[in-house]
Structure 1
Amino acid sequence: MRLVPFGSLTDEDFAAWQAIRASDSRWDSPYFTHEYMAAVHAGRPIDVLIGDGFLWPLHKTGSSARPAGSPGADFQGPIVEPGVRFSPKAVLAAVGVRSLSFDHLVDGYRDLEPWVEERRVSPFMDVTGGLDGYLNRVDKSGRGKMSEARRLTNKANRELGEVRSTVQANDGLDQVVALKREQYASTGAQDHFADQANRDLVRRLMGSDLGLLSTVYAGPHLLAAHFGIRDGGVLHWWFPVFERKFGSYSPGWVLLREVVTAAPELGITRIDLGRGEDEYKRRAMTGSSTVCIGAITSGLGTPARRLRRAAVGAAKSSPIAPQLRAIARKLR
């Protein structure tokens, strides 16, 4: 195995990258494209571990490493040809680190199984055939929400002004970021866009073939918007936002319905919703994949890390967790 700076990759390396991706549908997410990695690398250096039928883009910091794009990449892992095996310990040695952690590792790597500490559901929507095809696959709850979205669209049209959607908008990204930051603040979640590098990344992606910005307005009012990335038939639902004052119109569902309706025109057959079991994801999903949390390490064993993660999870689920996060933010 050899570790190569992303900027030093050759045309042959990129051709091999594309060939390996094409060999297995597990790598069809836009997060596994070299175009996404190029956008990330422009703001934060990436090194790529390359072997026979194997490559893994990584961020290396001191004695540790993480998959490239972390913490924003919702699918992670080495891109490998079918049947290729590798040694996790050899990976650490080749990268020159003591640990390599992951939090959205695609499930199914036999060689990484001993290092997986936890698994999470990552829902998706099969939108083949657009809205009609989707409604034939989604369960009763999802069909009900889509029907409600149609009714509320008509209501917004009467009460707020003509409803119009743009599934491939050219501007509005700054407003999406601002609304997302408001959402983070109101829920106590960590502000992903507090880091200038993350704001710059979505702007670079917006200017690439991967970025997809969608909006829905009622008269002069922005109801909801979404910025995601897409490649081929896959759209990753990444940063959805809506104006809270128009929450009674279920603007997020209104926008999602518009995107599903436009899916055939866009060439999209699947919308990945990302890890988590939010209510809208449970209702909208037609299926799910699995992503893993863990770390390859030469030190602390996986059982001990599992215990530590369980303790952290218990603290986060505590009724006073929001107050603790608020106090922590004030002390920073």
Structure 2
Amino acid sequence: MRLVPFGSLTDENFAAWRAIRDGDSRWDSPYFTPEYVAAVHAGRPVEVLIGDGFVWPLHKSGSSAKPAGSPGADFQGPLVEPGVRLSPQRMLASVGIRSLAFDHLLDGYQDFEPWVEEKRVSPVMDVSGGLDGYTKRVDKSGRDKMSEARRLTNKASRELGPVEFTVRARDGLDHVIALKREQYASTGARDHFADPVHQDLLYRLLDSELGLLSTVYAGPHLLAAHFGIRSHGVLHWWFPVFDRKFGSYSPGWILLREMVMAAPDLGITRIDLGRGEDEYKRRAMTGSSTVCIGAVTSGLRTSARRMSRAAVAAAKASPIAPQLKAIARKFR
């Protein structure tokens, strides 16, 4: 096992990477492509852990590491040939890594199971066959929202101006990032785009084959937009935004319906909505995958992490959690 700077990978290394990925659909997400990692590496150095039948791009800092793209990568994990088994602790120790934390590790890595602390659902939409195919698979709640989105699209056209959907927009990413930052501020969530590195990554991806910026306007008004990444038949639903003053039109659902209708022309058969319990994800999903939170560490560090996560979970479950969040927001 060796750790190689991304910029030092050879054509042979990339060929092995792509062969492993193409051989198993579990890594069909764009997060597992060399192109995504290249875009990440341009803003923040990536080193790739390489062994026989094994590839894992990482950010290394001292003796600690995280999957490449963290904290923005919604799917993580090594690409491994069938039958390859390993000892994560010994593997990492061989390259000077004492701790590797993950928060979106794909479920199913048997060798990493002892270090998984929590598992979360990551909803998906099967959009093969476009809107007709999708509405046959989604439950009644999702079908009702799609019907409502159609009616509200017509209403927006009458009241605001003709509704226009652009699936491959080239302008407007500044506005998307600004709206997303407003959303973070209003909900008290951590501002992902406070770090310019994360903003720059989106611009690089937009200039690549992976990035996809889509917008919905009603007349001169931007109702909603989305920036995601895609590869083969998969679109990862990454940064959706909408203008809150048009919230009565359910602009997010209007945008999602337009994307489902456009899916066949884009060659997209699945939309990964990402980990989360948002109501729209619950309604829109036709299935789900599972991602894991945890860290490969020494025994003492593992115990400390588990105790810390238990304390956080208890605080979130506390009746005074909303008040604590409000206080914390005042000191941001």
TM band (smaller chain): over 0.9
Shift, 1:95, TM fit: 3.0
1:277 maps to what in 2?
Answer: 277
Query: Which residue number in structure 1 is paired with residue 5 of structure 2?
Result: 5
Query: Deviations along 1:116-146, whole A, 9 cap, x unmatched?
Result: 0100000000000000000000000000000
Q: Is the 8 A contact 2:135 2:143 kept in 1?
A: yes
2:229 equivalent to 1:229: yes
Residues 233-292 of structure 1: per-residue CA shift (max 9 Å, x gap): 000000000000000000000000000000000000000000011100000000000000
**Partner Cα distance (2:314, 2:137) in 1:** 36
Give aligned pairs, total. 332
In 2, Cα distance between equivalents of 1:43 and 1:268: 28
CA distance in 1, matches of 2:225, 2:167: 9
Task: Tell me the residue number matched to 1:59.
Answer: 59
Residue matched to 1:50 = 50
| CA deviation string 1:194-244 (max 9, x = no partner) | 001000111111111000001000000000000000000000000000000
276-285 or 316-325, larger mean C-alpha shift: 316-325
Question: Which segments of 5 or more consecutive residues in structure 1 lack a partner in the other structure?
Answer: none
C-alpha spacing 1:318/1:224, structure 2 compared with 1 (3 Å): farther
| Structure 2: runs of 5 or more not aligned | none
* Counterpart code for 2:294: G
Q: How does 1:228-307 map to 2 (within 5 A)?
A: 228-300=228-300, 302=302, 304-307=304-307
Residues 3 and 94 in structure 1, CA contact (< 8 A), matched pair in contact too: no
Residues 1:22 and 2:17 are matched in the alignment? no
State the distance in 2 between where 1:312 and 1:300 align. 19
- For 1:309, give the aligned amino acid: R
| CA distance in 2: counterparts of 1:215 and 1:66, whole angstroms | 33
Secondary structure of 1:95's counterpart equals coil
Amino acid at match of 2:35: E
Paired with 1:258 and 1:140, the residues of 2 have a C-alpha distance of 19
Contact 2:263 2:269 in 1 (8 A): yes
Partner residue, 2:161: 161
Question: Does the 8 A contact of 1:117 with 1:302 survive in 2?
Answer: no
How much has 1:82 moved relative to structure 2?
A: 1.3
Q: Give 1:259's aligned amino acid.
A: M
Tell me by how many angstroms 1:37 deviates. Answer: 0.2
Asked if 2 retains the 8 angstrom alpha-carbon contact of 1:125 and 1:271, the reply is yes
Instruction: Please name the residue that 1:197 is paired with.
Output: 197
3-state DSSP of counterpart to 2:94: helix
Question: Aligned letter for 1:147?
Answer: S
2:88 is the alignment partner of 1:88: yes
CA distance in 2, matches of 1:220, 1:39: 33
Three-state SS of the structure 2 residue aligned to 1:256 is helix
Distance across 2 between alignment mates of 1:95 and 1:135:
49
Question: Given that residues 30 and 236 in structure 1 are in contact (C-alpha distance below 8 angstroms), is that contact kept between their aligned partners in structure 2?
Answer: yes
Q: How far apart, in 1, do the equivalents of 2:329 and 2:47 lie? A: 32
SS across alignment from 1:253: helix
Aligned equivalents of 2:157 and 2:103: distance in 1? 42
Kept after mapping to 1: 8 A contact 2:188/2:329 = no
Q: In the TM superposition, what whole-angstrom CA distance separates every residue of 1:97-120 from its partner, at most 9, and x where no partner exists?
A: 211010000000111011101000
CA contact (8 A) 1:188 1:322 kept: no
Whether the 8 Å contact between 1:98 and 1:299 is mirrored in structure 2 is no
2:102 corresponding residue in structure 1:
102
Q: Give the match for residue 183 of structure 2.
A: 183
The structural deviation recorded for 1:83 is 1.4
Identity %: 81
CA distance in structure 1 between the aligned counterparts of 2:65 and 2:326, rounded to whole angstroms: 29
Check if 1:309 corresponds to 2:309: yes
CA RMSD between the two structures: 1.3
Return closer, same or farther for 1:128/1:316 CA change in 2, 3 Å cut-off: same
Residue 307 (structure 1) shift? 3.2
The answer as to whether partners of 1:23 and 1:82 remain within 8 angstroms in 2 is no
Letter in 2 for 1:138: V
Q: Provide the TM-score with structure 1 as the length reference.
A: 0.97
**How far apart, CA to CA, are the structure 1 residues paired with 2:247 and 2:278?**
17
Which SS does the other structure have where 1:300 is aligned?
Answer: helix
Moved segments of 4+, more than 6 Å: none
Task: State the alpha-carbon separation in 1 of the partners of residues 91 and 97 from structure 2.
Answer: 9
